[in-house]
């Protein structure tokens, strides 16, 4: 579930740009201090030594994050695109009497219009997908770790060991047989009950897709991180 910090970060950048007549009072040093102060203020009541902030847009902000926080790292959770779209469509078809905020609460459309919308460059899936590609081929990819859904659901211990090693933190002994997360009130308000619900054992659950074959196949080759020929040798993928 995404937090609000990335949105605040983007809004501040926009307000400090030349479109604001008062931008003449701001230089990059001041902008950097203000943005760093945003993080310090938001997490002022957090005593943890390591903070994980969740948002799909951070991959598109890695050059800025590298300057503000030289030790910061990004963990990108990835899955084959057609199955991501399938999961969203499955939720929509399950909640037929509750239009979703994902589609601006519009009750119309088809599986095709919904897939086109979320896969567009400014869509819920398309935008972070493009940001991910930027990060994977960018100058800051040494601070990036890609975690594949398939590995996480079949070898969760292996994935968590890789994450702790990537972060330089001691390994924690997780119980993969009982993982629970529920924000029912938020999901209901978004018109998408079950959007963030996680419960039970970490495991792979094979299923048939609800997408028509032509739509599924349109996205089947988008998992560029699965082809060694398409990714830099120093990009870490688990």
Q: Both 41 and 147 in a single domain?
A: no
In whole angstroms, what is the distance from residue 143 CA to residue 72 CA?
Answer: 7
∠ Cα 21 27 28 (to 5°): 125
Cβ neighbors of 19 (< 8 A, separation 6 or more) are none
Range of the domain at 8: 1-55
* The pLDDT value given to residue 199: 85
pLDDT of residue 198: 87
Looking at residue 148, what is its pLDDT?
Answer: 97
**185 found inside a domain:** yes
Taking CA atoms, 209 is separated from 55, 116, 132, 213, in Å, by 27, 17, 24, 9
Residues 80 and 45 in one domain: no
pLDDT of residue 86: 97
Helix (H) or strand (E) holding 146: strand 144-148
Place of tokens 């330089």: 168
The reply to whether 6 and 91 lie within a common domain is: no
Whether residue 147 sits in one domain with residue 208: yes
Phi, psi of 148 (to 5 degrees): -80, 135
Output the pLDDT for position 104: 84
14 in the same domain as 92: no
Give me 91's structure tokens. Answer: 């939720």
Query: Does a structural domain hold residue 102?
Result: yes
- What would you report as the CA-atom Rg of the chain, rounded to the nearest whole angstrom? 19
pLDDT at 105: 87
Q: Tell me: the pLDDT tens digits for 51-105?
A: 999 999 999 999 999 999 999 999 999 999 999 999 999 999 988 888 888 888 8
Q: Which two tokens stand for residue 101?
A: 């905020």
Q: How many domains does the chain have?
A: 2
Domain assignment of residue 81, yes or no: yes
Query: Is position 62 within any domain?
Result: no
Q: How does pLDDT run across 11-21, given as a tens digit for each residue? A: 999 999 999 88
Tokens at 120, concatenated:
């567009």
pTM summary value? 0.90
pLDDT given at position 195 = 85
Are residues 129 and 81 in contact, defined by beta-carbon separation less than 8 angstroms?
yes
- 37/100 same-domain check: no
Residues of the chain with pLDDT under 70: none
Token output for 202: 């970490």
Is 191 found in the same domain as 105? yes
Give the pLDDT score at 221.
92
**Do both 9 and 108 map to the same domain?**
no
Q: How many CA atoms lie within 13 A of 55 on its CB side?
A: 16
């Amino acid at each position: 579930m995404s937090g609000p910090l990335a949105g605040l970060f983007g809004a501040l950048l926009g307000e400090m740009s030349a479109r604001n007549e008062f931008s003449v009072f701001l230089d990059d040093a001041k902008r950097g201090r203000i943005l760093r102060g945003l993080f310090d203020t938001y997490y002022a009541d957090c005593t943890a030594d390591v903070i994980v902030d969740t948002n799909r847009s951070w991959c598109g902000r890695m050059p800025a994050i590298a300057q503000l926080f030289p030790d910061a790292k990004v963990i990108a959770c990835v899955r084959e695109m057609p199955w991501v779209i399938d999961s969203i469509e499955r939720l929509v078809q399950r909640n037929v009497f509750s239009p979703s905020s994902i589609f601006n609460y519009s009750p119309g459309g088809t599986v095709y219009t919904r897939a086109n919308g979320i896969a567009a460059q400014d869509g819920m899936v398309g935008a972070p997908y493009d940001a991910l590609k930027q990060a994977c081929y960018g100058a800051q990819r040494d601070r990036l770790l890609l975690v594949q859904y398939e590995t996480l659901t079949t070898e969760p211990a292996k994935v968590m060991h890789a994450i702790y090693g990537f972060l330089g933190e001691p390994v924690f002994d997780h119980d993969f047989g009982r993982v629970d997360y529920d924000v029912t009130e938020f999901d209901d308000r978004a018109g998408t009950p079950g959007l963030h619900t996680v419960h039970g054992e970490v495991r792979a659950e094979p299923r048939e897709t609800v997408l028509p074959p032509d739509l599924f196949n349109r996205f089947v080759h988008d998992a560029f991180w699965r082809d060694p020929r398409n990714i830099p040798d120093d990009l870490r993928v688990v």
